[in-house]
Structure 1
Amino acid sequence: MSLPGRAPRDPRLDFFRGIAMLIIFIAHVPENLWANYIPARFGWSDATEMFVFCSGFAAALAFGSTFHKANFAYGTMRIGYRVWQIYVAHITMFIFIATLVLAMTGLLDGEHDYVSQLNLNWFFDHPAEALVGLFTLTYVPNYFDILPMYIGALVLVPAVMALSRIHPWAALGFVAAVYAGVHLFGWMLPAHPDHQDIPWFFNPLAWQLLFFTGFAFALGWIPAPRISKPWVIAAAAFVLLSAPAANWDIAKDVEALRWVREVVWDLQEKTDFGLLRYLHFLALAYLAIALVNPRVELLRGDWAKPIVTVGQNSLAVFLLSMGLSRVAGMVLDQIGRSTPAVALVNIAGLAIIIGFAYWCTMLKKQPWRKLAAQHDAETAEQKPAQRRAHTADAPRSAYTAPAE
């Protein structure tokens, strides 16, 4: 009797995570001309929203069943272990990039002050206090704030799962209440030991709303919306009409658009995740699903495999891209930012990221185990043959035992 094969992995989550990772690399290369064409230039939301939503969705798939099928304690321990992994990744990434910018600033004799470019002067001027702040997450400078925000959202998972035992809407009510507290009472986490009024650039108490939206969709707490023509038209209209006001290069020259930006500024604010960003992302996600769902099999094609592979290794790729984007900016500082130079550096960076993702996938498959098993099997087959050959070739003894 043959067992049923495992259902193929849905490629949509990995595809959109991969897109987000590639955009994040382009967005973080300093003075990158290609960054003028990323989604953030044409709407209130950007790749960060895509990353956070997909992270929440993936977290529900990875950890939700442990809470339901095992028990609350094991689910909490798994979340704790994941938090530890992200925390170590954050510390390692910071130390690596801080060392990189310091070394390159010295190597180039101050031609480019990469330390100041990342606003890390205080870290090197006050190393003892800065290290304590780094390890306690009370020092979270810009550029190094996405993973701490992810940690902040993960820490809330056990509370959300506990409330979901009462009712999923109790859990979602808690999520909404925390988000409301940010905007009503100014809840935030300080990002600088000497300036308690400076918040984390990505306030996790606000961004958890988007994280748990993805989480809730994955667990079925919120049903997937039906695709209908009126809603597609409404979502498309909202996205298109927001683009001129969201793009400063357009809005600065049009008085009406400048007025719109001033009116809605707090609603599109990034640190506390303004509601316009939330609505804009949901509209984009709705359009993306409407476009992709009837054609989901296309995402299993060869053309999509590089992007899907990047999405399957999102944490490792993110860590690489954050350092690689600084290196790309340094290369551009040396060779100039002509159109061909920018294209060359961006394409090379994207190729490195995709190649790295394939390498990570290969390591996950542990091909050496298969080779080791083949070696053991071959060795096991050879040993009986060697013993038989040894017996056949052995010289007969001339000594004959005396008869009893």
Structure 2
Amino acid sequence: MTSTDAFSMSAVSAPQAVTAPRPKKERDLRLDFFRGIAMFIILFAHTPGNPWTLWIPARWGFSDATEMFVFCSGMASAIAFGATFDRAGIFLGSMRVAYRIWQVYWAHVGLFFATVALMVFLTDLDITSRNYWGNLNLWMLFVESEMWDNPNILFSFMTLQWVPNLFDILPMYMVILAMMPVVIMLARVHFGLVVAASLLMWLLAQRSLTEAFGLPYLNFTAEPWLGNDNWQRRWFLNPFGWQLIFFTGFAFMRGWLPKPPVTAWLIALAAALVLINIPFSNIGVREFDFEFAREWRSAHRQWFSKTDFGVLRFVQFLALAYLAWVIAGDKGARIRATASTLGRLWAPILALLLKVGQQSLAVFVVSIIVGRFNGVVLDLVGRSAMTVLLVNLFGMALLVATAYLASWMKSQPWRVKGGVNAAA
């Protein structure tokens, strides 16, 4: 036997080293569950002329699905990026955050151009009678005018200086993500610095407050050709205001803020805050015709401003989040127990919600496009109860399909197949 044969025989007969797989971290059921619900609500809210929008949770109080999504994103970011900062340090942790911002940026760009292309196509159809790209305030993209001083519109868009209507949440999310390394470094000195920095940014993002005291207003311009000193078109979702709720969720998941106790008086207080909101909500004014609430809303819009994340939105959301946290149980134990109890009725629905929540970025991007498309379909077929139901179910089915497709693609099935073929 030659030395080569001996080496070959030993290589075949030698036991292969087996690497123990890393234990898979259990996902927090609550995050995926509530993000899944938020994705469907966002679909309904972004479908023009959708009657279901009149009854979404936002109509019952000051906060809406945006708070739910941003708060849960803060908690998810603490899980996804916090361990990287702890394990690999500030530099590599920041690089991972930068990579995520890069992904979100191109999702934003792709979403915009895909939506514009779809709206132009639908506007040009013989069966439609509306200018759908005009409804998105895209006139400056297609119509030249001296009032805009011939701006480089595409450059303004690519550098996030021009943030068109509807395309504001991903830019806001990118800016908040960019704050994360600074927040981590401040927390390593003292958590009080995080609280002070977050509150200071939030205060300077309150337009009415800065106007009253002559302070600089923190927000980005959404239409640079109108000048930086105008107050008419800034980012609709001000990242310097919305970072407060993002880093609240981030701090809870990092353990910087303790879990609130589950007590009867705290549950009663949270429930009372939620109920007190209803007379002043859209439902209270629209359905119950509370004149005092209408007058109060007109005079105090700054307290529940969506752009600057008014304080009443924060208070009401915290009350809702506490009640949801109590109902869901630790890591969603009660949600899972309910699935076991109801079995065939609830378990499939829960599985769909969790999958949609797990793939929130891909689902969100698709939901914006599908929502605009569904609005055109409703214009064409009418808005009877049946057509509205079918169109909304169609949109929900597309979101579920997107979630499962994104999950399957992330699993990289081609690598598994390639490994099997190589072994054979």
Q: How far apart are residue 75 of structure 1 and its match?
A: 1.0
**TM-score normalised to the size of structure 1?**
0.89
Residue number in structure 1 paired with 2:222: 191
Residue number in structure 1 paired with 2:12: none
Q: Which residue of 271, 275, 286 maps to 1:250? A: 286
Q: Which residue of 62, 75, 99 maps to 2:80? A: 62
Give the 3-state SS of the residue equivalent to 2:48 in structure 1. coil
Provide the rounded CA distance (Å) in 2 between the counterparts of 1:224 and 1:299: 23
Larger radius of gyration: 1
Residue number in structure 2 paired with 1:139: 162
Q: How far apart are residue 259 of structure 1 and its match?
A: 2.9
Q: How far apart are residue 263 of structure 1 and its match?
A: 4.4
Provide the rounded CA distance (Å) in 2 between the counterparts of 1:83 and 1:271: 22
Residue number in structure 1 paired with 2:334: 295
Instruction: Mark the runs of 5 or more structure 2 residues left unpaired by the alignment.
Output: 1-17, 145-149, 340-346
Residue number in structure 2 paired with 1:264: 300
Provide the rounded CA distance (Å) in 2 between the counterparts of 1:6 and 1:271: 39
Q: How far apart are residue 262 of structure 1 and its match?
A: 3.2
Provide the rounded CA distance (Å) in 1 between the counterparts of 2:390 and 2:39: 19
Provide the rounded CA distance (Å) in 2 between the counterparts of 1:272 and 1:114: 28
Q: Which moved more, 1:10-19 or 1:250-259?
A: 250-259
Residue number in structure 2 paired with 1:402: none
Give the partner amino acid of 2:374: A
Q: Which residue of 328, 346, 358 maps to 1:312? A: 358
Provide the rounded CA distance (Å) in 2 between the counterparts of 1:200 and 1:166: 32
Q: Which residue of 169, 189, 204 maps to 1:166? A: 189
Residues 251, 258 of structure 1: 8 Å contact kept: no
Q: Which residue of 114, 120, 137 maps to 1:119? A: 137
CA deviation string 1:176-215 (max 9, x = no partner) = 1111112233221100022232210000011011111111
Residue number in structure 1 paired with 2:253: 218
Identity percentage of aligned residues: 42
Q: Which residue of 336, 352, 372 maps to 2:398? A: 352
Q: 1:108 to 1:279 in 2, by over 3 A?
A: farther
Residues 310, 357 of structure 1: 8 Å contact kept: yes
Q: How many residues align?
A: 378
Give the 3-state SS of the residue equivalent to 2:218 in structure 1. coil
CA deviation string 1:87-127 (max 9, x = no partner) = 11111111111111112111237611101111111122259
**TM-score normalised to the size of structure 2?**
0.85
CA deviation string 1:29-82 (max 9, x = no partner) = 000011111111111000000111111111111111121211111111111111
Q: Which residue of 264, 267, 278 maps to 2:314? A: 278
Provide the rounded CA distance (Å) in 2 between the counterparts of 1:314 and 1:155: 19
Q: Which residue of 383, 390, 399 maps to 1:337? A: 383
Provide the rounded CA distance (Å) in 1 between the counterparts of 2:120 and 2:349: 40
Residue number in structure 2 paired with 1:15: 33
Give the partner amino acid of 1:28: H
Residue number in structure 1 paired with 2:42: 24
Give the aligned CA root-mean-square deviation in angstroms: 2.0
Q: Which residue of 107, 116, 122 maps to 2:125? A: 107
